[in-house]
Structure 1
Amino acid sequence: MHAWKRPEIPSVPGTSDAPWLHDTATDSLVEARPINVARLYVCGITPYDATHLGHAATYLAFDTLQRVWLDAGFQVHYAQNVTDIDDPLLERATRTGVDWRELAQSQVELFRTDMEALGIIPPNEYVAVTEVIDEVSDAVAQLWAAGFAYEVETSDAVAGADGITGSDVYFDIAAAEAQTDWRLGDESNLNRDTMLALFAERGGDPDRAGKRDALDPMLWRAARDGEPQWPSPVGAGRPGWHIECSVIALKELGTDFTVQGGGSDLVFPHHDMSAGHASALSGHPLAGVYSHTGMVAYQGEKMSKSLGNLVLVSGLRSQGVDPRAIRLALLAQHYRTDWAWTDTLLSAAEQRLARYLAAFASASASPIANPASSTAVIEMMRASLRADLNSPAALHALDAATSGVDDPELLTDAIDALLGVNLRES
Structure 2
Amino acid sequence: MALTLYNTLTRRKEVFEPVEPGKVGMYYCGVTVYDYCHLGHARACIVWDVTRRYLQFRGYDVRYVQNFTDIDDKILNRARLEGSTMEEVAERYIQAYFEDMARLNIQEADEYPRATHTIDGIKRLIHELEQKDFAYPSAGDVYYAVREFPEYGKLSGRRLEDMQAGASNRVEVEPEASKKKDPFDFALWKAAKPGEPAWESPWGDGRPGWHIECSAMVRDRLGETIDIHAGGADLIFPHHENEIAQSEAVTGKPLANYWLHNGMVTVNGEKMSKSLGNFITIRELLDRGVDPMAVRLFVLTAQYRKPIDFTDEAIQAATNGWNTLKEGLLFGYQYRSQLGWDTNPSDKDANLDNETVERFKTAVDDDLNFPGGLAILFELAKSINRDRNLLVHQGKTETALPVLERQWHTLVSLANILGLDVVIRGIINATLPAPTVSASGRAGLSDAEIEAMIQQRQEARKTKNFAESDRIRNELQAKGITLIDSPDGTRWHRN
TM-score using structure 2 length? 0.73
Residues 63, 200 of structure 1: CA spacing in aligned structure 2 closer, same or farther, 3 A cutoff?
closer
Confirm whether residue 323 of structure 1 aligns to residue 309 of structure 2: no
Instruction: Give the equivalent residue in structure 2 for 1:396.
Output: 375
Residue deviations 1:252-276 (CA, integer Å, cap 9, x gap): 1112211111000000000010011
Confirm whether residue 28 of structure 1 aligns to residue 12 of structure 2: yes
Aligned-residue offset at 1:306: 7.6
Aligned-residue offset at 1:55: 0.6
Residues 268, 203 of structure 1: CA spacing in aligned structure 2 closer, same or farther, 3 A cutoff?
same
Give yes or no for contact 2:324–2:382 (8 Å, CA) kept in 1: no
Give yes or no for contact 2:103–2:292 (8 Å, CA) kept in 1: yes
Instruction: Give the equivalent residue in structure 2 for 1:247.
Output: 216
What secondary structure is seen at the aligned counterpart in 2 of 1:235?
coil
Q: Normalized per residue, which structure has more helix? A: 2
Residue deviations 1:96-145 (CA, integer Å, cap 9, x gap): 33322111111111111111221223221201111111221222122223
Residue deviations 1:123-177 (CA, integer Å, cap 9, x gap): 2120111111122122212222322211233xxxxxxxxxxxxx21101122333
Residues 403, 409 of structure 1: CA spacing in aligned structure 2 closer, same or farther, 3 A cutoff?
closer
Instruction: Give the equivalent residue in structure 2 for 1:105.
Output: 91
User: Please, which moves more after superposition, 81-90 or 167-176?
Assistant: 167-176
- Which one has more relative contact order, counting CA pairs under 8 Å at least 6 apart? 1
Instruction: Give the equivalent residue in structure 2 for 1:159.
Output: none
Residues 187, 86 of structure 1: CA spacing in aligned structure 2 closer, same or farther, 3 A cutoff?
same
What secondary structure is seen at the aligned counterpart in 2 of 1:30?
strand
Output aligned runs, 1:201-240, within 5 Å: 201-205=169-173, 208-240=177-209
Instruction: Give the equivalent residue in structure 1 for 2:255.
Output: 286
How many Å separate the matches in 2 of 1:18 and 1:139? 36
Aligned-residue offset at 1:198: 5.9
Aligned-residue offset at 1:200: 5.1
Confirm whether residue 56 of structure 1 aligns to residue 42 of structure 2: yes
Residue deviations 1:186-224 (CA, integer Å, cap 9, x gap): 111123355326625331548822322222110000011
Output aligned runs, 1:326-365, within 5 Å: 326-363=295-332
Residue deviations 1:67-96 (CA, integer Å, cap 9, x gap): 221111110011111110011211222233
Find 1:119's aligned residue among 96, 105, 112: 105
Residues 357, 299 of structure 1: CA spacing in aligned structure 2 closer, same or farther, 3 A cutoff?
closer
Confirm whether residue 144 of structure 1 aligns to residue 125 of structure 2: no
What secondary structure is seen at the aligned counterpart in 1 of 2:257?
strand
Output aligned runs, 1:250-269, within 5 Å: 250-269=219-238
Residues 25, 120 of structure 1: CA spacing in aligned structure 2 closer, same or farther, 3 A cutoff?
same
How many Å separate the matches in 1 of 2:278 and 2:82? 19
Residues 55, 304 of structure 1: CA spacing in aligned structure 2 closer, same or farther, 3 A cutoff?
farther
What secondary structure is seen at the aligned counterpart in 2 of 1:284?
coil
Instruction: Give the equivalent residue in structure 2 for 1:14.
Output: none
Structure 1: segments with no counterpart, 5+ residues: 1-16, 154-166, 178-182, 368-372
How many Å separate the matches in 2 of 1:48 and 1:384? 38
Instruction: Give the equivalent residue in structure 1 for 2:141.
Output: 168
How many Å separate the matches in 1 of 2:154 and 2:238? 11
Give yes or no for contact 1:325–1:350 (8 Å, CA) kept in 2: yes
Instruction: Give the equivalent residue in structure 2 for 1:196.
Output: 164
Instruction: Give the equivalent residue in structure 2 for 1:415.
Output: 414
Structure 1: which amino acid aligns with 2:106? I
Structure 1: which amino acid aligns with 2:218? A
Aligned-residue offset at 1:308: 6.0
How many Å separate the matches in 1 of 2:285 and 2:42? 12
Percent identity, aligned pairs only, is 34
Instruction: Give the equivalent residue in structure 1 for 2:357.
Output: 378
What secondary structure is seen at the aligned counterpart in 2 of 1:48?
coil
Instruction: Give the equivalent residue in structure 1 for 2:468.
Output: none
Give yes or no for contact 2:166–2:173 (8 Å, CA) kept in 1: no
Residues 276, 114 of structure 1: CA spacing in aligned structure 2 closer, same or farther, 3 A cutoff?
same
Residue deviations 1:296-323 (CA, integer Å, cap 9, x gap): 0114432256866322111122223221
What secondary structure is seen at the aligned counterpart in 1 of 2:113?
strand
What secondary structure is seen at the aligned counterpart in 2 of 1:423?
coil
What secondary structure is seen at the aligned counterpart in 2 of 1:82?
coil
What secondary structure is seen at the aligned counterpart in 2 of 1:379?
helix
How many Å separate the matches in 2 of 1:145 and 1:305? 44
Aligned length: 387
Residue deviations 1:233-262 (CA, integer Å, cap 9, x gap): 221100001100000001111122111110
What secondary structure is seen at the aligned counterpart in 2 of 1:380?
helix
Give yes or no for contact 1:259–1:291 (8 Å, CA) kept in 2: yes
Give yes or no for contact 2:380–2:407 (8 Å, CA) kept in 1: no
Instruction: Give the equivalent residue in structure 2 for 1:130.
Output: 116
How many Å separate the matches in 2 of 1:306 and 1:252? 38
Find 1:72's aligned residue among 58, 62, 65: 58
TM-score using structure 1 length? 0.85
How many Å separate the matches in 2 of 1:326 and 1:246? 32
Q: CA RMSD in A?
A: 2.3
How many Å separate the matches in 1 of 2:288 and 2:269? 23
Give yes or no for contact 2:192–2:205 (8 Å, CA) kept in 1: yes
User: Please, which moves more after superposition, 92-101 or 266-275?
Assistant: 92-101
Instruction: Give the equivalent residue in structure 2 for 1:11.
Output: none
Structure 1: which amino acid aligns with 2:358? E
Structure 2: which amino acid aligns with 1:410? H
Structure 2: which amino acid aligns with 1:385? V
Residues 356, 59 of structure 1: CA spacing in aligned structure 2 closer, same or farther, 3 A cutoff?
same
User: Please, which moves more after superposition, 287-296 or 350-359?
Assistant: 350-359
Residues 307, 99 of structure 1: CA spacing in aligned structure 2 closer, same or farther, 3 A cutoff?
farther
What secondary structure is seen at the aligned counterpart in 2 of 1:226?
coil
Structure 2: which amino acid aligns with 1:199? A
Aligned-residue offset at 1:23: 0.9
How many Å separate the matches in 1 of 2:253 and 2:274? 35
How many Å separate the matches in 2 of 1:416 and 1:403? 14
Residues 337, 193 of structure 1: CA spacing in aligned structure 2 closer, same or farther, 3 A cutoff?
farther
What secondary structure is seen at the aligned counterpart in 1 of 2:171?
coil
Query: Larger C-alpha radius of gyration, 1 or 2?
Result: 2
Residues 343, 98 of structure 1: CA spacing in aligned structure 2 closer, same or farther, 3 A cutoff?
farther
User: Please, which moves more after superposition, 338-347 or 189-198?
Assistant: 189-198
